Amino acid sequence: MNERPDAPAARRNREAILEVLQQEISHGASVLEIGSGTGQHAVHFGSAMPGVTWQTSDRRQHHEGIDAWVSSSGLSNVLPPIELDVMTPLDISAHYDVMFSANTAHIMSTEAVERMFALVGSLLPGDGLFFLYGPFNVDGAFTSDSNRDFDQSLRAQDLAMGIRDLADLNRLGASNGLSQVRRYAMPANNMFVVWQRLGNE
């Protein structure tokens, strides 16, 4: 069996995220996770919500680690990863009620974030939900000194990265048929933001 990768951040934030997911996701729903990373979140959430089908995804280089977590879990409702890169045209025909991504927007380029919202808008059905977890700015301002420091460290690595402002994300959402409906304050100055697909298509 392949060695399972371990992300300390996933272990730290999983319970807080799970608490919100359990409020937001209905029994029988199908979820597509954009950027499953190590796969730890998927297994933890799938184990706690056996009535929810959780589809993992990421770039090909992360599949081995995700597969290790999924296969060792023995969970039938957590599915092996599909290849997904928001910068690459995708052929996804499956139906998903919910799309979820954690700690991705701030390590993506602006163009990649735009592509992610376009993907979500194209795949979600009417009233479908999109969840995005991570640090965000509000009205052009950092919500904490630690987030300001984190943003500086990200931009020192790559100028394309950085904490995104919710106003900008809401504009992207609106251009793709999504409206922010809820926002949860989370530990360590993070947020869990919920957008809903408008219309009945």
pTM over 0.85? The answer is yes
- Please list the pLDDT of the chain residue by residue as tens digits (201 residues): 468 999 888 899 999 999 999 999 999 999 999 999 999 999 999 999 999 999 999 999 999 999 999 999 999 999 999 999 999 877 777 889 999 999 999 999 999 999 999 999 999 999 999 999 999 999 999 999 999 999 999 999 999 999 999 999 999 999 999 999 999 999 999 999 999 998 755
Map out the domains of the chain as residue ranges.
8-197
CATH superfamily of 8-197: Vaccinia Virus protein VP39 (3.40.50.150)
Instruction: Please give the Cα distance from 35 to 85 (Å, whole number).
Output: 8
